[in-house]
Every structure is written in structure tokens, then in C-alpha cells.
Amino acid sequence: MVFSSPIFLFIFLPFVWILHAMLPERFRKAFLLFASLMFYIYGEGMFVMLMLATILTAHFTIVLLYKVKSSRKTIAVLGSALSLAFLLVFKHMNFFTTQLSNLFALFSSIKITPTNFHLPLGVSFFTFQAVSCIIDFYRNPEEKEPKFIDTALYIAFFPQLVAGPIVRYDNFIPQLKYRAVHYAAFLYGLKRFAYGFAKKVLISNNLSPVVEKIYSMDTSTMGIDVAWAATFVFMVELYFDFSGYSDMAIGLARMFGIKIPENFTYPFTATSIGNMWRKWHISLSTWFRDYIYIPLGGSRKGEFRAIVNIWISFLACGLWHGAAWNFIFLGAVSAFFITIERIFKKLCPYRNNVLAHLYTKMVAFPLFFISVKVDSVSYYFGVVKAMFVPNETAVSVMQIFDAKSFAAFVVGFIFGFPIYGRITAKFGKSNVFRWLEAAFLLALFCAALSSSTMVFSDPFFYFRF
């Protein structure tokens, strides 16, 4: 069920919120869990059983960690491995068996039929939450035995179930005990949801046809202007798509008394790829930092070991995005840039912000965002070549845009920088500004509702992960 779809906006959300508000506190968690399971069943049907298996694995593991005082590390490792096994089977087995089949075809007559597992919606996100549940409980065990309903609601909570943000167990569980459901939280949640909804429908959805048109072209027909547009238009589309989803998720959670973490802090202002990952999909990058990079030794064991740990972490991050060579390449691109940036920082500690921004916007961002979008490494290098090699017979960028998509790109690019945040910080305490902001958000919401891109809303980009 897509947050920007009419069935969610006008049926599911009002019904769930009103009934939740009317119920006594002792029934609210059970009702939220039921609603979250229904939300998932609507989109994935019986694959809800996979999510329930993940929940049971995580809960059984933390109960063992609570009751057993010895071999706790072994229990945590086995529980985490079993949770990740579900992800590996459903997300990576098809890729593995296909590569194995191709390998056997080269050297023998043995035939292996590749598997064809369906990729359940949100499996990457709820699996990582299950692992977070186990590791956080192992590191900081609770004084009381964990309750199944708390574990289940933590993993299945519908606002962040399908595409994050990834919420930490030790941040979420305490909120279930002291959950504040009140008027101010509801209004803040409504504001964040409306803002995210407008970002998705008015900006991202209007840019999506342009992006698909560009990336469906043969790279030999791309002009320099189209190849560069491929980078920046997709960057804006993806940012407003995913940050819009994150805003909606944060807003929905606040409506039900739960605070979930910010996932973006204006990544367009980044001055390196390393800095960008601290501003982009923050919940994912910090997950890999805290559960893979630091346990491997981080930067505590010397520079060479730190670089090795960076490569392991980002290759794993690439595989998290998908089981294909292009996703491994995505992880390698990030690791390569961060390695170069670390080495350069050691050799040349002098820093110039203008040069840093030029490098990031004109070199790092194009090479990174192309790797996020393309389906093959050969197409990636075809786009990179088109960015620098003139092609007199190529399609012009003016043939790609219409007035609406061009306006969406310009507005999106401008507001990808902290203009709105600075205005809010300066005038946010004024009652006049609050009323003007409310009117502005209402106008945006109505414009998004009346937009032709709303009814046929594209699924969010990160749903595929």
C-alpha cells in the first residue's frame, strides 16, 4: 500500500488513526500491530508469514539472551545469522544460482536451473531491524523479560515497515512504554506527512517520466547535455522520492506517538561522498557503520585496515540494495571515492570549500548517482562516456523536458538546499509564520491531491530494495 495512494489516504489512515485514538491505552499496541500486519498483507499477501518468521526469530533470540547468562555472544550471532538467512534466500538466491548456472555452463554439461524466488516488499528493512533488535539487546539487556508484542510492533510498525527509516531497537522500545499521543504531536505529524506527500507527488513523480525516458535511451544517442541531465535530474527525483517517503513515515509515526529518526539532512550540501553518506539515508549508513564497520575494527587498527573495512562495509551495502553486479558496483563506487578522499586528506590537509563543492557536484555525485540508477556496468560507462564525448547526431535535452517537468526540476534542485530550513529557523516561532506555513502546506497538499501524478503514483524507488 503506497502512502500517496487514495486507499491509504482516505480509508486506511483515517480508520486506523481514529480507532487507535478511541481505544483504551492497554489495547492500542495490539491494534497497531494488527493494522501493521493488515497493511503488509494488502501488498504482499501470504509473504506476511516471512515477516512473522523474522519476528519470531528475533524475539526467541532476545528471550534466550535474557534468560541464558552464558554463551550470549553465540546466541546473538546465531539469531542474527538466521534472520539474515531469510534475506539471503529471498533476495540473493536467484542471483547466486544464476551465476552458478552460468559458471557450470562454461566448464561442464551439468545444468543448474536458477531459482525464481519472489522478492517480498520491505524484506531488507525489516530484516535489518530484526538484527538491530538482537544486537542491541545483546549489548544492553533489559531488566525485564521482553514482550512479544513489543518486538513484533518494533519490526512490523507500518510507517517505516517497507522503506525505513531503519529504527534502532533501543530507541523504539522505550517509546512504547511512555508513548505520548497528543494534539501537538498529531499536528506535527500531519505537517511532516503533507510536506513529504507534496515532495513525492509534485516533484518526484513529475520527474520520473523524464528520468525513465533518458535511461531508456541507447547511450550512443545521448548528447553531452542529456548525459549530464541524466545525473542531476535523477538525483533530484530520487532525493524527493525517498526523502518524501521518509517525511511521510516520520509524520505518520508521530501521529501515533512514536519518534523515528531523520533520514536526510540536505545531502546536496555535501562536500564529499563520505560526507554525503552522513546526510543521505542516514539510518542505513549508520547501521552499516555501527554493526559492520566498527565491529570489524573501524579505523582503530591502522589506515590500511580502515580502508579494508570501508570496502567490506560498502560492498555489503551494495548487496543490501540488490543481488546483481550493478549493485556490487554501486558499493565499489562509494568505497573507491571514500578511499581516495581519505588518502587525499592525509596527503593534503589543506581544505578549500569551493573546490570541495566543485569536486562533489561535478565528479563524485554524477559517478555515484549513475551507479544507483543503471542496471549494468556497461551502460554506466556508456553514460559516463556520453558526458564528455560530443555527439552531433544526439538527442537534445530540450526534447526531453516539458514545461512541468522542467519547473519540477528547478524547484526541486533549489529546495534540495536548506532554504526552507533556514526560513523556518529564523521565523518559525512567529504565529504569523505558522499560519502562513499551514496555509502553504494545505495548498501544496491540495495541489498534490489534484495532480494527475497522484492517482497513478509511482511506487517509491526504495520499495525495490
**Cα–Cα distance measured from residue 37 to residue 55, given in angstroms and rounded to the nearest whole number:** 12
Q: Cα(405)–Cα(31) distance, rounded to whole angstroms?
A: 42
| 92, 182, 321, 357: the active-site residue | 321
Which of 375-383's residues contact partners 24+ apart within 8 Å by CB, and which partners? 375/324, 375/326, 376/325, 376/326, 377/325, 377/326, 377/329, 379/219, 380/326, 380/329, 382/219, 382/220, 382/222, 383/219, 383/222, 383/227, 383/230
DSSP structure class, residue 82: H
DSSP string covering 219-246 = GGGB-HHHHHHHHHHHHHHHHHHHHHHH
Q: How many CB atoms lie within 10 A of CB 107?
A: 7
Residue 230 to residue 215: CA distance in whole angstroms: 7
- Rounded Cα distance between 1 and 122, Å, is 12
Cβ-based neighbours of 454, under 8 Å, separated by 6 or more: 4, 6, 201, 205, 448
Nearest to 211 by CA among 226, 192, 190, 233: 233
If we measure between CA atoms, which residue out of 147, 178, 128, 126 comes closest to residue 62?
147
Give the residues across from 395 on adjacent strands: 222
User: Is residue 20 flagged as an active site residue?
Assistant: no
CA 3/CA 198 separation, integer angstroms: 12
Residue that the C-alpha cell 526531453 belongs to: 400
CA distances from 156 to 55, 153, 244, 415, 442 (A): 8, 5, 20, 32, 30
Residue 222 corresponds to which cell in the numbers above? Answer: 545521448
Query: CA nearest 125: which of 150, 94, 91, 96?
Result: 91
Contact 182, 95 (CB under 8 A): no
222, 383 contact by CB (below 8 A):
yes
Residue 83 C-alpha cell reads as 534472520
Strand partners, 404: none
The residues facing 222 across adjacent strands are 395
The catalytic residues are 321
